[in-house]
């Protein structure tokens, strides 16, 4: 692709608006749009989407850093698992798969990741309270649980890091739910969101740089998407709280499920 494209900028604006409105990761929304609506190959959609996610999440990460709404110790634990996993996945792609998975396999992986993300998108607001109560009941076993927290955090982040590198999906919803399960007493909703977003920045950056090395990024497409997404995010943020966010979340989950099924059965 050569030059900016208004249609792609409008798509970027649409996704940016939804990200600003709901906080849902752009990776989950942009990749299926590029593949199903605009006909880009899955590999290019994933590689370009990772840069898109890096830049949009950096903006959100700076805001959360200024608000103090991140647990930096947990960000470090997450990166300890996710970053090496992302690098190993990129090397595996480069040396054994000529830089990209077979399109059909990548579509299946992407569809599966979108299905999981859509379900977690709906369930996440309802998890904090029951998980908090469960941890209180297990408080006598707290020393043993704390020893396992570190291991589970690093291993879970490694799995998510590999998945994000392959599909561009999962850096938001999957990490948020994992943190809610492992740290229900330590992290409130605000801390989960801040920690999640700040961790996603280095993960998606490493994956994006790797996909550039593999030749899976369309620079003009990325520029067109960002041209629309940045004002879209601002507009979405301005109307947050003025619309029924649960209704929007359910609608988005429905869209992702339809997209996922199309990818799986295409």
- What is the full DSSP assignment across 172-230? THHHHHHHHHH-TTT--HHHHHHHHHHHHHHHHHHHHHHHHHTT---HHHHHHHHHHHH
Q: Which of 15-19, 97-101, 214-218 has the highest mean pLDDT?
A: 214-218
1 lies in a domain?
no
Q: Report d(CA 93, CA 107) in Å as an integer.
A: 16
- The structure tokens listed for 191 are 């801390």
Q: Report d(CA 113, CA 28) in Å as an integer.
A: 9
Residue 64 pLDDT class (50, 70, 90 cuts): low
Q: Report d(CA 68, CA 207) in Å as an integer.
A: 26
Of residues 21 and 141, more confidently modeled: 21
The range of the structural domain enclosing residue 168 comes to 6-17+26-265
What pLDDT score was predicted for residue 234? Answer: 80
81 lies in a domain?
yes
Angle at 59 between CA 183 and CA 57, to 5 degrees: 55
Whether 26 shows a pLDDT value over 60: the answer reads yes
10 lies in a domain?
yes
Angle at 164 between CA 180 and CA 232, to 5 degrees: 85
Our CA dihedral for 136, 72, 26, 29, rounded to 10 degrees, sits at: -30
Question: What is the length of the chain?
Answer: 266
pTM for the whole thing? 0.87
First and final C-alpha spacing in the chain: 25
61 lies in a domain?
yes
Number of H helices, E strands in the chain: 11, 0
How many domains does the chain fold into? 1
Whether 254 shows a pLDDT value over 70: the answer reads yes
Whether 208 shows a pLDDT value over 80: the answer reads yes
pLDDT tens across 124-141, in order? Answer: 777 767 766 766 666 556
């Amino acid at each position: 692709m050569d030059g900016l494209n208004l249609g792609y900028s409008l798509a970027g604006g649409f996704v940016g608006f939804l990200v600003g409105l709901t906080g849902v990761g752009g990776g989950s929304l942009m990749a299926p749009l590029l593949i199903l609506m605009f006909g880009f190959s899955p590999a290019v959609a994933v590689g370009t989407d990772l840069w898109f996610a890096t830049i949009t999440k950096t903006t959100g990460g700076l805001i959360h850093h200024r608000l103090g709404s991140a647990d930096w110790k947990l960000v470090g634990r997450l990166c300890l698992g996710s970053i090496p996993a992302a690098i190993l996945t990129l090397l595996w792609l480069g040396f054994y798969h000529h830089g990209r998975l077979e399109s059909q396999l990548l579509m299946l992986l992407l569809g599966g990741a979108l299905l999981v993300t859509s379900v977690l998108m709906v369930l996440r607001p309802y998890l904090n309270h029951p998980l908090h109560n469960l941890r209180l009941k297990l408080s006598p076993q707290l020393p043993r649980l704390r020893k396992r927290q570190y291991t589970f955090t690093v291993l879970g982040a490694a799995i998510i890091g590999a998945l994000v590198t392959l599909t561009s999906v999962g850096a938001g919803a999957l990490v948020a739910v994992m943190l809610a399960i492992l740290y229900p007493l330590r992290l409130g909703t605000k801390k989960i969101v801040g920690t999640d977003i700040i961790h996603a920045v280095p993960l998606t950056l490493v994956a994006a740089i790797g996909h550039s090395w593999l030749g899976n990024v369309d620079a003009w497409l990325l520029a067109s998407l960002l041209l629309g997404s940045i004002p879209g995010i601002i507009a979405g943020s301005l109307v947050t709280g003025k619309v029924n966010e649960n209704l929007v979340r359910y609608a988005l989950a429905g869209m992702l499920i339809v997209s996922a099924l199309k990818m799986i059965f295409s």
